[in-house]
Structure 1
Amino acid sequence: MNPTKNIALLATLLCASLSLPALANTLEDIQKRGELRVATDMAIPPSGMLDASMKPVGSDVETAELLAKDWGLKLKFIETTGPTRIPNLQTGKADIVISTLSVTPQRAEVIDFTRAYAGLRSVIAAPAATKISDWNDLKGRAITVTRGTTQDSMLSKDAMKKGYTLQRYDDDATLVTAAVSGQAYAVATSATLVNQIKKQNPKLNFEPKMTLTVFDLAIGLQKNQPELKEKLNEWIETNIKNGKLNAIYEKYHGEPIPQEILNR
């Protein structure tokens, strides 16, 4: 290459790099603003919901409130839905996501996660009188799931091999109605939702029969924010050890954070 052209190319690249905006430091922005913006879905009880006076309540809500209080910040909830949690983070509308966000390889490609602050036990559940101890007991039966959930995806892969079918509903509320009314032989959902089914129809006494997996629930943040991630991890570690996060979870979910999470 011509030396003159080479020098000109280097100069162009240097100018271009100098013109690029510096990577934002989310932790500094939060501290300067004095406010923490948290994306939380208020339509997924008991993690996030609105009470009779339209005040946010739930385990994720109290987790965010505790975080803001410990950091001496005002708290602003960015109401979201499942599909908009990550976009709200990527566009800078929210600083972090605390909203039953399970850690998956696909999500980890576009955002970062803290260590788990809670867990979600995914189970096969049925009335107490229904005998289900392994997959053989579900051959020829329909398992009720909420469409598009991790349970739906997980069970779809093995349906033909294991001999069960899936009965899909569009949301958790409809799944609960089907179970409570006796229309569902078995459901695949979170242990928390099973507790709600049991409360609504104690006679059926829905209970977990098999555990599918335990999902890590973590705080989501933008990529390349090491200072914020470290500070959040330190906060989670402290509040796991002192029992505050477990107390919040048990208050709303009716059971402790899964031991698999607490032992990490």
Structure 2
Amino acid sequence: MIPQRRSLLALMAGSLTLGSPAAFAQQDTLAAIRAAKVLRVALEFGRPPWGFKDASLKMTGSDMEAAQLLAADLGVKLEIVEVTGPNRIPFLQTGKADVVLSTFSITPERLKVIDFSVPYASAVQIVGAPRSIAIKGPADLQGRRVGVTRATTGDVELTKRAKDLGVEVLRFDDESTNMTALTTGQVDIVVQEPATFLAVAARAPQRQLESKFVFTQFPVGIGLRKNDAALKAYLDAWVRRHMADGRLNAIYRTFHGTDLPADITQPK
């Protein structure tokens, strides 16, 4: 009985070792993508001009074109996994997507749980409100209610500064809900990406919406799981190559109407 018990314990110990986090610390998603001949990209389509659906419901936007370029360079089929801001990281961590290419700003909080490529774009968050509301800087937000899209960099930064600024933060699950709250008067002030804000302002002239000031700005990278060294090396090299040949800047210019800042086009 004793030898059998020892054998059983040894088998259980071996199983625990194989199932431990350390045993799966290193991944090779790049090899899996090439073997499957499919790249699964998590992407949002409620954030024009980054990702949206046109009048014929065709997926488009700067992130969509970047994803298409990445899949073409890998020589694999592109499979889009539609996500929202709050579920981008869960979808990545649970293996529902290989990478996240969806206005994914590189922040210290996110770097604790996932990795990023070097930046391929830049995301700005502005404070917007009706013309009648006098706001020139963060100090003017004192005592006001501010809408923001949940789990975005705007949410992270606003939450971080809410107590010092004395603001009440109202979080909405996606960009369209945040902007609907603004156009219907549920909130009078939002933190939002400028392209989305200006597009909605043009469709709701009665609200006389205008951009007030830049609230924060972050570099945007391709999100990937931790300890995926081969994939990170490939993505970093891919971004640098298409910064050098101008392809990523051309995509950004087409949809955003401006060039990428120099600190993005000349990555370290």
Same fold (TM over 0.5): yes
Unaligned runs of 5+ in 2: 1-9
| Structure 1 residue aligned with 2:110 | 107
- Separation in 1 of the partners of 2:172 and 2:80? 29
TM-score normalised according to structure 1 size: 0.78
| Structure 1 residue aligned with 2:213 | 210
For the residue of structure 1 that corresponds to 2:119, the secondary structure is strand
- The one-letter amino acid paired with 1:230 is A
How far does the alpha carbon of each residue in 1:36-80 deviate from its partner, in whole angstroms, 9 at most, with x for none? 221222333332233344432122111100111223222111223
Q: 1:204 to 1:28 in 2, by over 3 A?
A: same
1:247 aligns with 2:250: yes
- Separation in 2 of the partners of 1:119 and 1:25? 28
Q: 1:132 to 1:19 in 2, by over 3 A?
A: closer
Answer whether contact 2:27 2:227 (CA < 8 A) is retained: no
**Higher normalized strand content (fraction of residues):** 1
1:236 aligns with 2:213: no
Answer whether contact 1:192 1:254 (CA < 8 A) is retained: no
Equivalent of 1:97, from 75, 96, 100?
A: 100
Equivalent of 1:144, from 133, 144, 147?
A: 147
Q: 1:204 to 1:114 in 2, by over 3 A?
A: same
Q: 1:52 to 1:219 in 2, by over 3 A?
A: same
| Structure 2 residue aligned with 1:57 | 60
- The number of residue pairs the alignment matches comes to 255
- Separation in 2 of the partners of 1:128 and 1:140? 18
- The one-letter amino acid paired with 1:215 is F
Identity rate, percent = 41
Report the Cα offset of residue 239 of structure 1. 1.7
Once structures 1 and 2 are overlaid, which stretch shifts more, 192-201 or 217-226? 192-201
- Separation in 1 of the partners of 2:17 and 2:163? 57
- The one-letter amino acid paired with 1:94 is A
Answer whether contact 2:27 2:229 (CA < 8 A) is retained: no
- The one-letter amino acid paired with 2:70 is L
Equivalent of 1:133, from 121, 133, 136?
A: 136
- Separation in 2 of the partners of 1:208 and 1:189? 9
For the residue of structure 2 that corresponds to 1:229, the secondary structure is helix
Q: CA RMSD in A?
A: 3.4
- The one-letter amino acid paired with 2:157 is M
- Separation in 1 of the partners of 2:119 and 2:245? 15
Report the Cα offset of residue 157 of structure 1. 4.5
| Structure 2 residue aligned with 1:66 | 69
| Structure 2 residue aligned with 1:201 | 204
- Separation in 1 of the partners of 2:135 and 2:17? 64
Answer whether contact 2:243 2:266 (CA < 8 A) is retained: no
| Structure 2 residue aligned with 1:3 | none
Answer whether contact 1:143 1:165 (CA < 8 A) is retained: yes
